[in-house]
Structure 1
Amino acid sequence: MSSSASQPRTTDSAAPGVSLAEATSAWAKIALLSFGGPAGQIAVMHRIVVDEKRWVSEERFLHALNYCMLLPGPEAQQLATYLGWLMHGTRGGLIAGGLFILPGALAIMALSVIYVSFGQLGIVAALFFGLKAAVLAIVLQAVSRVGARALKTSAMRALAALALLAIFVFDVPFPLIVLGAGLIGWIGSRAGLAGFSSPTSSTAAVASHDHGARVDAVTAAGGTPGGALRVALVWLVLWLTPVAALLIGLGPDNVFSQLAVFFSKMALVTFGGAYAVLAYVAQLAVDHYGWLKPGEMLDGLGMAETTPGPLIMVLQFVGFVAAFRMPGALPPLVAGALGGLLTTWVTFAPCFLWIFLGAPYVERLRGNAALSAALAAITAAVVGVMLNLALWFAIHTIFREVRKLSVAGLTLELPVLSSINPSAALLSALAIVAVFGFRMGTATVLLICASAGFALHFLGAL
């Protein structure tokens, strides 16, 4: 067997007439239109790749999406990487996945520079004041959507409640919650408990013939142990070499080393997307490392909501601000840019590893009841973690002061009720009504709230 067996042979025979240049143009268009979180991004991808171009069949698209939903990291970016790999091998995956990140990375970098340079100006502060209210409503909407899908049994609802209690009250690290939920789901399924049974995916059977699409299937047997080992070694070296170099050269206490290690860990446990992990990141970035102030995480999320690309790109803002404030011998803006780029690299390099390593073996993972139950349990726990994020955002958006209360050895972060910000409370309530009552889209709500922030500024209400 040739050395290329570890990659799909789809470039010429399975995708006749689809040149790499043509595909690159389509991926660039998708990247520029990828607003509105993963649901909107996946919808745009489906419309262009499946409906308009007919490069990939409906069955193959859903099959790829199912696999990406199992992975840590941003599923929309990983889906683009998977489909690019499907059509043009590793080059196609790198182009599709890389372009999906590029516009958002450039936009967040520019906004981060503006934020640290002019963030105290009244009009800039007014913009982010409005965006915070919109972000709170959008996070609540995400909790509602994921919860409706994931919490269909009493066991799953109990797991979500336990996850919320664990992280909000007992400050249990997010990775332990993910691992514990997965273990509970796996044991529950093996024990035959009804609450942990998971029906087989409706896309478990992938059509073996083309339905008008230019690409329909990848041979699951395409992966070989040798090919998988090469892929793993290449991407682990690319991902972890900068981390090791920083730890050796600068020491573990340097801000760049801390960013590299911390966000590499986050890349391994970001099941459920950005909303699930942001509360954990925010709490550590604010309380443990001192990189950000509480409200600044909301500002960064507002940036990510209003720019194309994965929502997890907000982590680039965290890395930028952290390095900007602890620049060492570097000029602060240079340090900030390097911190942002470093964070982006260690966040997204693993995404390519998961796709290039796992895609040839995807078929072998399907139909495993215990694995499906473990993943369902993780998703249920993620709902509780997302609700914690909503609570954290609400406390820091609506109230001006937050205090830490120690009860029975536990430390709770609670708002000072007398410090309520009436403008923030009213704007947050209006944003929630717009999202849930009038079902307005993300872009519309963000625009309305940003405009309201400007209006309040000019009226002197802020």
Structure 2
Amino acid sequence: MTEPADQTARPYPTLAEATRVWARVAALSFGGPAGQIAVMHRIIVEERRWIGDDRFLHALNFCMLLPGPEAQQLATYIGWLMHGVRGALIAGVLFILPGVVSIMALSWIYAIWGNVGIVSALFFGLKAAVLAIVLQALVRVGKRALKNNAMRAIAALSFVAIFAFGALFPLIVAGAALVGWLGAKAGIAAFAAGGGHGSVGGTHVADAGTLLGEETRIMPAGERRGALVAGLAALVLWLLPVGLLLALAPGTVFADIAGFFSKMAVVTFGGAYAVLAYVAQEAVGTYGWLAPGEMLDGLGMAETTPGPLIMVLQFVGFMGAWRETGNLIGGTAGGLLATWVTFAPCFAWIFLGAPWMERLRENRALSSALTAVTAAVVGVILNLAIWFAIHVIWREVIRVEAGPLSMELPVLGSINWAAAMLAACAIVAVFRLKLGMLTVLGAAAAAGIGLYLAGMTG
């Protein structure tokens, strides 16, 4: 337990002080949402003691109800709690800024030198590590979400629906939410609990003592009105460019990026892993923006840079626009457009919902719907893991279709033994040796280069 060294209530930090701390949080935001939330808790709650555990978890529960990256939204909410709209914008923008810059720089490098042998070898290694990390996410989410047979059934049906029948991710989310809602309304025990989120980064949050007096702070009416205005402005800033592109440039890659990623912004419940398989399938199969291996390369970039994992969507937008326009300026515009329509809605959800978060949190049926969605996410992440494995370990895949059945299966004889060996080592490193994500990614990238220099990646 953290020692409450100072029980005296103090005013909130100045905006300038908070900005410096949010920049530090952003620079350390590696490791996916669990790691990012844990870093935020350590700095904001334990070190700075700006808010207490109850308020932190309260905000986290609210963000888990929303589509989009919960860690970025949590930073935005805490920023709003302390300094209103200005604080929310600073915290939210700083949280994603390092990732925007890093992914864009890596996208340029990838577009210019991606076919160079040594660069391809580096990403060859990263793909194997990413597969192990996705499997780790599957296990972690599964342990938390699949508490009873009803949740296991939802996960299994979700996997079958998306893997074998190509069901759309939004329909899976909507169906699971409806089942959870109806189950709670019917008083079915498996759905009644609703499922809380009482941990950060997989561990119970320690008590940080009585802190800055914020637990008794009453949000002024002016700040609530300011949040409403900011939320409406965020909606306009999101939807107006999308509407203009769809109306004035239909059928172009930019209109497709704006429309597709706007749709993703409202259905990304359960974090980035849950939606990436659907994004990959659409970006590769429907739009032709990426090859299957390139999606894995982009995920490797997002895993190794600070910021939300969903920043991989910037890489997808960049590659799609770069291929369509044939130049890096077009690719940059496509990547930034994908980022804009992904994160502008996140600010809107926080500004419009935060003032009423208590009412949302106390709704048991809504909480049960979220629990069912989380169970469905396990099935979707399993599909993502299998999709990655097929495209990492085998050189050739075939599509099997029979009536409504439609799935990709590997050509067993086309196995890439170097990739299989590297993936197996990465899995052992993650699950057996308990090595950190950056260690595994770095070692896998080095191994990929080593295999290339030894002539074993062909």
Rounded Cα–Cα distance in structure 1 between residues aligned with 2:450 and 2:170 = 42
- Counterpart residue number, 1:85: 80
- Counterpart residue number, 2:393: 398
Asked whether the 8 Å contact 1:218–1:360 carries over to 2, the reply is no
Asked whether the 8 Å contact 1:220–1:364 carries over to 2, the reply is no
77-86 vs 367-376, greater mean Cα deviation = 367-376
- The 5 Å alignment of 1:258-269 reads 258-269=256-267
Asked whether the 8 Å contact 1:164–1:384 carries over to 2, the reply is yes
Matched, 1:125 2:120: yes
- In the TM superposition, residue 158 of structure 1 has moved relative to its aligned partner by 0.0
SS of residue matched to 1:31: helix
Asked whether the 8 Å contact 1:60–1:217 carries over to 2, the reply is no
54-63 vs 132-141, greater mean Cα deviation = 54-63
Q: 2:406 aligns with which of 402, 411, 416?
A: 411
Matched, 1:73 2:73: no
Amino acid corresponding to residue 68 of structure 1 in structure 2: C
- Counterpart residue number, 2:252: 254
Rounded Cα–Cα distance in structure 2 between residues aligned with 1:116 and 1:308 = 21
- The 5 Å alignment of 1:23-172 reads 23-172=18-167
Rounded Cα–Cα distance in structure 1 between residues aligned with 2:221 and 2:76 = 17
Aligned length: 440
144-153 vs 408-417, greater mean Cα deviation = 408-417
Instruction: Specify every segment of 5 or more residues in structure 2 that has no aligned partner in the other structure, as ranges.
Output: 1-8, 199-207
SS of residue matched to 1:406: strand
- In the TM superposition, residue 193 of structure 1 has moved relative to its aligned partner by 1.2
Give identity over the alignment, percent: 65
SS of residue matched to 1:71: coil
- In the TM superposition, residue 62 of structure 1 has moved relative to its aligned partner by 1.1
Asked whether the 8 Å contact 1:200–1:367 carries over to 2, the reply is no
Amino acid corresponding to residue 133 of structure 1 in structure 2: A
447-456 vs 402-411, greater mean Cα deviation = 402-411
Rounded Cα–Cα distance in structure 2 between residues aligned with 1:294 and 1:427 = 18
Instruction: Specify every segment of 5 or more residues in structure 1 that has no aligned partner in the other structure, as ranges.
Output: 1-13, 204-208
SS of residue matched to 1:216: helix
Matched, 1:432 2:430: no
Q: CA-to-partner distance for each residue in 1:314-362, whole Å, 9 max, x for gaps?
A: 00000000000001xxx61000000000000000001101111111100
Rounded Cα–Cα distance in structure 1 between residues aligned with 2:20 and 2:225 = 33
Rounded Cα–Cα distance in structure 1 between residues aligned with 2:344 and 2:273 = 20
Rounded Cα–Cα distance in structure 1 between residues aligned with 2:192 and 2:437 = 34
- Counterpart residue number, 1:381: 376
Shift in alpha-carbon separation, 1:273–1:17, aligned structure 2, 3 A: closer
Q: 1:20 aligns with which of 15, 18, 43?
A: 15
Q: 2:319 aligns with which of 318, 321, 330?
A: 321
- Counterpart residue number, 1:366: 361
Asked whether the 8 Å contact 1:220–1:362 carries over to 2, the reply is no
Shift in alpha-carbon separation, 1:420–1:26, aligned structure 2, 3 A: same
Asked whether the 8 Å contact 2:184–2:365 carries over to 1, the reply is yes
Matched, 1:183 2:181: no
Amino acid corresponding to residue 264 of structure 1 in structure 2: S
- Counterpart residue number, 2:236: 237
- In the TM superposition, residue 269 of structure 1 has moved relative to its aligned partner by 0.4
- In the TM superposition, residue 228 of structure 1 has moved relative to its aligned partner by 6.5
- The 5 Å alignment of 1:202-213 reads 211-213=210-212
- Counterpart residue number, 2:338: 343
Rounded Cα–Cα distance in structure 1 between residues aligned with 2:161 and 2:140 = 22
- TM-score when normalising by structure 2: 0.93
Rounded Cα–Cα distance in structure 2 between residues aligned with 1:41 and 1:215 = 23
Amino acid corresponding to residue 22 of structure 1 in structure 2: E
Amino acid corresponding to residue 286 of structure 2 in structure 1: H
